[in-house]
Structure 1
């Protein structure tokens, strides 16, 4: 494993990552095996976020995963607020009792 001499001028893309891995004498099959991931799951790194595969590739190339996939990092989590903790008056259905009486 040798660190790439320089990053590609237009940033890392699928083809430059693949080329650098092959330049260093490694295959995706061997990287997947070392990471303990099936090749099929490992190869989905191009279309889906797979943190284990991303980390294995970045580790092999001795770069940060953020450099390889800048659109996937930093990790953001969706914040879904639960209505379980809200009071009943905050619900849209709270006033429905008055509507039922009118009908």
Structure 2
């Protein structure tokens, strides 16, 4: 192998990551199993769809996560996406609190 083939890419992408995994005699499914994840986790990670799988790949290759994966690939998890709550802006349909002065007669 020449020095050119052994040098890591200047910018990693899913193809170069997968090539590096196989070059080291590992498999994406094996990395996922070793990390206690579903076998598809690392394959999904290469598409930006599984952060835990991406963490497992970075750990297995001993390459820092920020070096291996593009910065915009895993910006936020799905659960952290802000979703407007349509119910929060609507007035409650429950009966009033019974306090006089809010447009209803106190009973």
- TM category, shorter: 0.5 to 0.7
**C-alpha separation in 1, matches of 2:81 and 2:47:** 20
Matched residues in 2 for 1:40 and 1:56: separation? 12
Equivalents in 2 of 1:80, 1:29: separation in Å?
Answer: 33
Higher RCO (CA < 8 A, seq sep 6+): 1
* Aligned-partner Cα distance in 1 for 2:69–2:21: 15
SS at match of 1:43: helix
Q: Can you give the 5+ residue segments of structure 2 that lack an aligned partner in the other structure?
A: 1-5, 92-107
1:78 aligns with one of 57, 77, 81:
81
Contact 1:29 / 1:39 at 8 angstroms: preserved in 2?
Answer: yes
4+ residue runs of structure 1 moved beyond 4 angstroms?
80-86
Gaps of 5+ in 1: 89-103
RMSD: 2.6
Using the alignment, how far apart are the partners of 1:47 and 1:73 within structure 2? 10
TM-score (norm 1): 0.60
Larger Rg: 2
Equivalents in 2 of 1:48, 1:16: separation in Å? Answer: 15
